[in-house]
Amino acid sequence: MCGIVGILGNEAVAPLIVDALKRLEYRGYDSAGVATLENGRLDRRRAPGKLRTLEEKLRREPLSGHAGIGHTRWATHGTPNETNAHPHATERVAVVHNGIIENYRELRDDLAKQGVKFESETDTETIVHLIEAELNNGKTPEESVPAVLSKLRGAFALAFLFKGGDDLMIAARRGSPLAVGHGDGEMYVGSDAIALAPFTDRISYLNDGDCAFLTRKGVTIRDKDGLGSVVERPVQKSNASAMVIEKGNYRHFMAKEIAEQPEVVGHTLAHHLDMSAGRARIPEGIDFAKLDRIAFSACGTAYYAALVARYWFEKFARMPVDIDIASEFRYREPPLKEGGLAILISQSGETADTLATLRHCRAQGMQIASVVNVPTSTIARESDAVFPTLAGPEIGVASTKAFTCQLATLACLAIAAGRARGVLSAEDEERLVGALIELPRLMAETLKLEPQIERLAKDFSKAQDALYLGRGTSFPIALEGALKLKEISYIHAEGYAAGELKHGPIALVDEKVPVVVIAPYDTLFEKTVSNMQEVAARGGKVLLITDEAGAKEAGGEFETLIVPTSYAFVSPMIYAIPMQLLAYHTAVFMGTDVDQPRNLAKSVTVE
Ligand code: F6R
């Protein structure tokens, strides 16, 4: 989390840095700051809260330097106040940091023993004092940074400016992402290419352990924390500038991203399907016929996408599937098979736990595939095979369109695996592909339920707790519905497999707790209806989300939202939409910050 930007420019860079930080605000937004070199002297402005507070401060007290670094923060160590905001600085060095320095306590204690006084509670401030110590020992900035990097444990992307060094910026990466932007007589660093899009489309990505020494003329990169040899990192043309990251006529990015789903799911399907042949494209480099199982790993919403995919892979390809939350995976030490396949799922492609899992699986000799939305991300770059989701930039912190695009991609892969393993006949495949081809239209139909969902949300916003129930692939959708609601409305919500209700959660049911039941009319419908009756018998308020046939069967007994009828196979992508809209409108009623909910960040680059 946290976004960082650095510019060696030819005009006052503070406004440019703030603009770039706005594009990184999805990474954290609890405080922000900028430092520039003013006639060789470091000066900085920092402010708690959103970037607009920093912008106002800069209007009152402008910075005019042509070299600068900036930061938008998601607090790890220390509350989000001005003192803990980045850049951290002494008179001679300023730094911005994304990541966590794990051994900061021992470093801080050592420095304190030497008489260093700390102003903040952050792990980052240790870095500036360590650099100071190196400078005091007569080292140059170029020597000081590598010397300090070798003392740090943990994850970081860092950018440094030095007093008197108007044509020098040093940047380093271990774990957290960092890109270098190449301009004409100007150079940039940023947490991603999107941040640098207004300045340049020529980007090189630093590898872990790289340290970059930038001047306005170019960059020299050394590996091994700057102590190794000079290395070349290819300059790639980024298409980030083509990406529209405007809200358009929507009130929130989340609303826009929900509405975009038919289109982006359509693009994603077009990539993974040969629609005219009625076939799923067999992915290059992965031979499903030779595999005996797949290990999926991901976090949050992406993990729920894996849970849905398990049903598909088991049914269509008869493949056993293991799924782990990425933060648990490597510590569980599961026996992994050399040559086996791990599939990592991630919107950002930078999630620290998912990336660590990737590297763990790689070290065990597994093949690595990933389903990612950001093709230039670290997870994509470290994978043997990448199955892209074509959702476009997702800015709202709560994942919506990335989730349904992950599902669409995984559905295509499961079909391809089924064919490769001889489980699906050509007719089966054509039927399943046909269901996917219809999906964007059905999703567009489902979006038309928005006014009705908005009315339901008004009541929902009065609840303090909510339960979401589903069976089969609707179970992970229930988990996703509960996650969406709690993260943006702050209403406590839990998702359960409907059959689990009477094993505990039914104790929570009373007339104040809404119970959302996701039940397409399929082979499991009747069983789910029994669970609804159990809720109703205890005075619980059921909201049934089903299709025409399900509504008829339920007999009008419950409050019902009727979504378009579809093949059971594609129902997760359809039922995800009312989950998103219900959470969205509930949050709007409650007046929360929908796109940037409290305590969260879009890209979770710390463990
Ligand atoms: C929830 C949400 C998170 C992410 C999770 C993984 O709405 O967005 O749970 O799904 O942090 O992020 P990625 O997909 O970037 O790895």
pLDDT of res. 70 = 97
If one residue of 303, 348, 477, 580 were mutated to test the ligand 1 pocket, choosing by the most ligand atoms within 8 A of its CB, it would be 348
Do 356 and 453 belong to one domain? no
Ligand 1 nearest-atom number relative to CA 484: 7
Residue 137 lies in a domain: yes
Measured distance CA(155)–CA(136) in Å, rounded? 26
Do 254 and 209 belong to one domain? no
Measured distance CA(388)–CA(347) in Å, rounded? 10
The number of helices, as runs of H, and strands, as runs of E, in the chain is 19, 27
Find out whether the beta carbon of 300 lies less than 6 Å from any atom of ligand 1: yes
Find out whether the beta carbon of 604 lies less than 6 Å from any atom of ligand 1: yes
Ligand 1 nearest-atom number relative to CA 347: 14
Do 47 and 173 belong to one domain? yes
- % of the chain at pLDDT higher than 90: 78
> Is the predicted pLDDT of residue 147 greater than 80, yes or no?
yes
Ligand 1 centroid to Cα of residue 301, in Å, is 5
Q: What is the pLDDT of residues 206-219, one digit of tens each?
A: 999 999 999 999 99
**Boundary-marking domain end, from 212, 237, 262:** 237
Do 216 and 337 belong to one domain? no
> Is the predicted pLDDT of residue 607 greater than 60, yes or no?
yes
Residue 175 lies in a domain: yes
> Is the predicted pLDDT of residue 606 greater than 70, yes or no?
no
Ligand 1 centroid to Cα of residue 348, in Å, is 8
Ligand 1 centroid to Cα of residue 599, in Å, is 14
Do 537 and 403 belong to one domain? no
Q: Give the residue, by CA position, lying nearest to ligand 1 atom 10.
A: 301
Find out whether the beta carbon of 351 lies less than 6 Å from any atom of ligand 1: yes
Of 256, 484, 486, 602, which residue is the catalytic one? 602
pLDDT of res. 244 = 55
Residue 528 lies in a domain: yes
Cα dihedral 217→222→223→227 (10° resolution): -150
Do 255 and 115 belong to one domain? no
Measured distance CA(278)–CA(571) in Å, rounded? 19
Burial class (CB in 10 A: 0-12, 13-18, 19+), 451: exposed
Do 469 and 551 belong to one domain? yes
Residue 379 lies in a domain: yes
Q: If we measure between CA atoms, which residue out of 8, 17, 48 comes closest to residue 32?
A: 48
Query: CB-based contacts of 568: which residues, under 8 Å, 6+ apart?
Result: 472, 473, 520, 522, 523
pLDDT of res. 331 = 82
> Residue 316, SS3?
helix
Do 224 and 301 belong to one domain? no
Residue 243 lies in a domain: no
Pinpoint the alpha helices (H) of 241-335. 253-259, 261-272, 300-317, 326-332
> Is the predicted pLDDT of residue 245 greater than 80, yes or no?
no
If one residue of 27, 253, 347, 377 were mutated to test the ligand 1 pocket, choosing by the most ligand atoms within 8 A of its CB, it would be 347
If one residue of 399, 580, 592 were mutated to test the ligand 1 pocket, choosing by the most ligand atoms within 8 A of its CB, it would be 399
**Boundary-marking domain end, from 237, 259, 287:** 237
Structure tokens, 118: 């700390």
Structure tokens, 327: 């933060």
pLDDT of res. 27 = 75
Tell me, yes or no, if 163 is annotated catalytic.
no
Pinpoint the alpha helices (H) of 23-114. 51-60, 104-113
Ligand 1 nearest-atom number relative to CA 303: 10
**CATH code, domain carrying 371:** 3.40.50.10490
Containing structural domain, residue 508? 448-607
pLDDT of res. 531 = 86
Q: What is the pLDDT of residues 19-55, one digit of tens each?
A: 999 888 777 778 999 999 989 999 999 999 889 999 9
Query: CB-based contacts of 388: which residues, under 8 Å, 6+ apart?
Result: 268, 271, 371, 372, 373, 375, 380, 409
Do 12 and 42 belong to one domain? yes
If one residue of 301, 486, 489, 594 were mutated to test the ligand 1 pocket, choosing by the most ligand atoms within 8 A of its CB, it would be 301
Find out whether the beta carbon of 398 lies less than 6 Å from any atom of ligand 1: yes
Mean pLDDT of the chain: 93
Find out whether the beta carbon of 346 lies less than 6 Å from any atom of ligand 1: yes
Task: Look up residue 553 and give its DSSP letter.
Answer: H
Burial class (CB in 10 A: 0-12, 13-18, 19+), 339: exposed
Ligand 1 centroid to Cα of residue 354, in Å, is 10
Do 393 and 504 belong to one domain? no
Do 373 and 425 belong to one domain? yes
**Boundary-marking domain end, from 237, 264, 290:** 237
Residue 443 lies in a domain: no
Query: CB-based contacts of 378: which residues, under 8 Å, 6+ apart?
Result: 177, 205, 349, 350, 355
Domain count, the chain: 3
Query: CB-based contacts of 76: which residues, under 8 Å, 6+ apart?
Result: 1, 100, 123, 606
User: 98 to each of 50, 85, 384, how far by Cα in Å?
Assistant: 17, 12, 27
Tell me, yes or no, if 117 is annotated catalytic.
no
Residue 509 lies in a domain: yes
Ligand 1 centroid to Cα of residue 300, in Å, is 5
> Is the predicted pLDDT of residue 577 greater than 70, yes or no?
yes
Ligand 1 centroid to Cα of residue 299, in Å, is 6
Residue 66 lies in a domain: yes
pLDDT of res. 338 = 85
Measured distance CA(496)–CA(503) in Å, rounded? 10
**CATH code, domain carrying 154:** 3.60.20.10
Contact 59, 44 (CB under 8 A): no
Measured distance CA(22)–CA(156) in Å, rounded? 21
If pLDDT is split at 50, 70 and 90, which confidence band does 246 have?
Answer: confident
Q: What is the mean pLDDT of residues 140-149?
A: 98
If pLDDT is split at 50, 70 and 90, which confidence band does 605 have?
Answer: low
Residue type, 187: M
Omega before 597 within 30 of 0, i.e. cis: no
Q: What is the mean pLDDT of residues 61-67?
A: 97
Q: If we measure between CA atoms, which residue out of 566, 568, 571, 293 comes closest to residue 417?
A: 293
> Is the predicted pLDDT of residue 603 greater than 80, yes or no?
no
Do 72 and 219 belong to one domain? yes
Pinpoint the alpha helices (H) of 496-570. 525-537, 548-554
Contact 523, 509 (CB under 8 A): no
